[in-house]
Structure 1
């Protein structure tokens, strides 16, 4: 991307970082303020994710517009609005509607024609509540085809449950959101809880404590799903 007019490798120190996750950082690109650069720290290839997002956008699914992808760099439109997680923490969005929204977004994804992908990491931090387009789903790095919709739902349920079983003050809200998510799910979740737990345990980004809590989280999902 160094020859494209965008900031290339080695130039990110000059950019404003506006977001980060466990695998990537997001920078504002100079100019009209309409673009962001998402760079994977491990040097992975972003082009597969870019192709998938472009296909989803053509099918009308709410994803950021992809402008360019090369190596670990993905240039996208800059969206305005908080994440669903930020809105929950600020008490501007209630847990139950948040859970229902996640279920709705997964239902819309799996209803697309052809062979829709499974997102496999849809949680409140990966939904942006934009001012002009409504909810937009981000971070498609883990998305894969060939998985049943139930596994996608189970992964989201398990992520919510991981928060619900912690002693954090927002755990009750996560529990309420999880119950609402499972109630609104458009596909059975219970048969896929075990596979979701195994997949989460293989995530290198989880800490030892988070992996240790997966059994309790999976039990909570199974209890509520039943």
Structure 2
């Protein structure tokens, strides 16, 4: 069993399933790092109230709030388009689990990554913004891996419907390729997942697709 990392987590009840692989299979993960763009205060106010044991993880000059929740490491205020944030989160998890960076970053999962101000945009502007978001996230992941001395293959697993109006399959794949992926594929199966709104007010279960972008360093 290895580890995994997630990007842009929201409601604890609907966290990303990091065991999923193509073909409907499952691969157990021993070390899990979950990151969220929200600060710990905003996250706790928006979503389900949980008992946490927050601590501050200092990595060089970067200070991040973190917590152990259900035996997993959560790091808050992580902007996945900034490699310095990605590095800081991984280094905190490395200290907690006492494992090398590669054990955390080999498999990265994200569910419906969307620009924060999307509700204020018209449809095509929204697609362009989300394409840039995925591309910049890919670049940050590759830069973070290089800074951490990780070599070899990194898998980015993306839950996103092929007909997602915010970023259809073709646009998603283009953005992943522009972000440095050497290959991008979509599973033939569809998956049923729960997803909560960014404000924590709504949740729904729907069918979606699973995509895999592979990066080689």
TM-score by length of 2: 0.38
Greater RCO between the two (CA within 8 Å, min separation 6)?
A: 2
Larger radius of gyration: 1
Q: Which of the pair is proportionally richer in strand?
A: 2
Q: Which of the pair is proportionally richer in helix?
A: 1
